[in-house]
Structure formats: structure tokens, C-alpha cells
Amino acid sequence: MAGYFNKEANGKWSVQFYHVDYAGIRRRKRKLGFDSKREAEAWKEEFIRKAQANMDMRFDSFVDEYFEMISHDIRQSTMYTKRHMIDVHILPYFKERKVAEITPLDIKKWQNEIKKKGFSDTYLKTIHAQLCAIFNYRTAF
């Protein structure tokens, strides 16, 4: 997707491009204040990747995006707890899979695996809630 990169009078770079949002509407996006053209290009590529909400991405990349989005809304201690729970109990099972390929049967098999570890019902529900939060966060914005 093409973009227009301009060096402004103040020496900073700007980028302007069109993209199609999640609803299929073509929108113009403009961002100013980059120190280099390369920085502007990297921001554009990252913006497009997130805006497309491509579910063909790997689950571990999806989780990284999830943490980036929620990091501004939760406390550092909550972030640490969530990260630990997801890294230890969820990512080992789904890490290499594409998000679009994870089925309800896969989730049920994962639930059975973590039940074998002997955790309390409350902790099992908390772990499952973390997985639900990851899959549901896209609908929040």
C-alpha cells in the first residue's frame, strides 16, 4: 500500500496514506513528527497490520498485540500477573498456531490439559478468563 512521506519545514517527517478499516470503509490517515523517513514507514506498516485485524497471524503475535493495547489501561502489577499466567499456561499450547485455526475443540483439549495440573477451580476459571480476554479484546474498540 502506497504512502506519501514528506519532510516538513521543521525537519520532521510525516506520512499520509489510505487504508480500509474493519468495517470496509476507506479512510485517510496522517501522522506527523517522525525523526526519520524509516521511522514513518515502520509506523505506517504497523498501523496497517493492526487495522486489518488479520486473524492469520500467529497466536504469540496476537498476544503481544493484546498486551500492547491493554498496557495503558491496567496497573503494572496486573500486567505482570496476566503476562505470567498467559506465558505459563496458555502460550505453550497455542503459541505456534494461527489465530484463525484455533477451534472450540482445541480450547476444550487445552482446558483438559490444564485441569490435569491439579489447580483449584477458581484458578482454572481465572486462566480461562485470560484466554477469553485475548480473543475478545478486538471487539472492545
Going residue by residue through the chain, which has 141 residues, state the pLDDT in tens, using 9 for 90 and above. 578 899 999 999 999 998 877 667 788 999 999 999 999 998 888 777 766 666 767 888 889 888 988 888 899 999 999 999 999 999 999 988 888 889 999 999 999 999 999 999 999 999 999 999 998 875 444
* Beta carbons of 94 and 102 less than 8 angstroms apart: yes
**Structural element, H or E, at residue 27:** strand 26-34
Q: How far apart are CA 89 and CA 117, in angstroms?
A: 10
What is the pLDDT, as a whole number, of residue 138?
59
* Beta carbons of 89 and 127 less than 8 angstroms apart: yes
Query: What are the domain boundaries of the chain?
Result: 4-52, 59-140
With a CB cutoff of 8 Å and minimum separation 6, the contacts of 81 are none
CATH 1.10.150 corresponds to the domain 59-140: yes
Closest C-alpha among 101, 16, 30 to residue 62 = 101
Q: Could you tell me the pTM of the whole model?
A: 0.62
